[in-house]
Structure 1
């Protein structure tokens, strides 16, 4: 029979996270005496000193650090169980949060969203449009349920969706088109349009970034608009730039090598067991759309 309870461990973690008993009591909406009693009872049941008070700050003992580290995992799993149970009891999730890299072929996302809309019209869908490691950050932190990213998760599931081509492009009247076959050295003297990483905690680069002149923007659509107006060149995802290419606003640059590069995109799910019917439908339809396009 277990001596300790999840609630006692939750109280201990709150004291550590918030730096003291009074702060923890406020955070968990309990009285200070209730929090203090829970921690004291836990120490008594285990026969181990878990906390020590230095001044006004409560800190873990060495034994407390080791035990809370293990208990934190149990608390996290317990929260996951409650989320799963909540989804099962409701039948369909009320909200679905998805992070999508803007460079991923959006037609597949729209196909999957259409199916979700048809089957689960009352599920609220929140789409987070990201660049580079932005989607990876959101799924890693648990802020979204599903991520479509160019990076692999260190935990959870990763499934490669597709390899998307990026094409070096400029407006047809751009001076670079008058130079014939280009080298990277030729590009250095002209303005490159770059889209910044949307991650709040890290900034990653992708592809060639050797131009002496550089304009940095926050989203892909702005990049396409600027290049379509002759402000510079860039490697753009072909799927998103194709309409401008067909309209004669963009033209592929002729390079000795590297005119086209590919980027892999992955389906990231931190915990697939937590996905409800709407989330699973989105995943299934997304993969089906990608598979259908690659088999054409």
Structure 2
């Protein structure tokens, strides 16, 4: 059986409690006090029990009122969310934004933009995938993501529209307990060849057969950057890592930077170019376009 309680009555119930009196609620809602009182009385008649105790100086919720208040607030908030979503859809704002990000990308830079995105577009549901190398591009090309933050080395397709982002600095590292970690002199290719190299890989066809930066005969291929990091810390091999991910380890001595003859660190560490991209035939909606411009530095923060 429906009680016929309106959304407006539920809103009045919540506002009376927030303001502490019928008169204060009337002022906030720009209505007469009698209109507020009448709405509460109608709701009490529909429920069949008093919702406020009016014997004191200020109205106090009864046991029944206290029980119904949280549900009333949820209904009011759900209605407000519905209104915001409907208005956003009317304005052409997409209901969802799916992102895929390469695991090497600095997440702090991403999260700063995502925080502002959530504030500006509260109705847009966001889904975030983290992949590596070609798997990031493949997710974008297959239409499983709207935008992708990808690496240049992942064979970027002509079917993508991309804008360059800041390059990622790489650093060769090993544990101080690893034989290479104890060498103080610059290491040549012959010094590295017989030591196990931990290499990031993926299962996509886009990077198949590409051995970027592989210098050792013995390699372990890992599809998870976190696992590679953990193995480096455990002295299981040597490998390159994004500098921002191991800076703390280098400062604490948990890892040491290897000086390679082919990469003199006094000149410049090697870098990987990154980009934000979308498919040419699937341009982002207003929310996605804002995110794209922010990441690319095309709009002021």
> Could you state the TM-score of these two structures normalised by the residue count of structure 1?
0.63
Report the counterpart of residue 26 of structure 1 in structure 2.
none
1:184 aligns with 2:189: yes
Consecutive unaligned residues of structure 2, counting only runs of 5 or more, are 1-87
Aligned residues: 206
Root mean square deviation of aligned Cα: 2.6
Candidates 227, 237, 246, aligned match of 1:241? 246
Candidates 147, 170, 173, aligned match of 1:169? 173
Q: Is the 8 A contact 2:164 2:296 kept in 1?
A: no
Q: Deviations over 1:165-202 (max 9, x none)?
A: 11100112221133322101111111111111242675
Report the counterpart of residue 114 of structure 2 in structure 1.
113
How far apart, in 2, do the equivalents of 1:176 and 1:291 lie? 45
The structure whose Rg is larger is 2
Consecutive unaligned residues of structure 1, counting only runs of 5 or more, are 1-86
Report the counterpart of residue 146 of structure 1 in structure 2.
147
Candidates 256, 261, 274, aligned match of 2:270? 261
Q: Is the 8 A contact 1:108 1:289 kept in 2?
A: no
Q: How far off is 1:88 after superposition?
A: 6.1
> Could you state the TM-score of these two structures normalised by the residue count of structure 2?
0.62
1:104 aligns with 2:109: no
- Range 272-281 or range 152-161, more displaced: 272-281
Q: Deviations over 1:127-185 (max 9, x none)?
A: 12111111211212222110111233312312111221111001122211333221011
Candidates 269, 278, 290, aligned match of 2:287? 278
1:156 aligns with 2:194: no
Q: How far off is 1:210 after superposition?
A: 2.9
SS of the residue corresponding to residue 159 of structure 1 reads strand
Q: Is the 8 A contact 1:167 1:237 kept in 2?
A: yes
Report the counterpart of residue 214 of structure 1 in structure 2.
219
How far apart, in 2, do the equivalents of 1:108 and 1:155 lie? 26
Q: Is the 8 A contact 2:134 2:205 kept in 1?
A: no
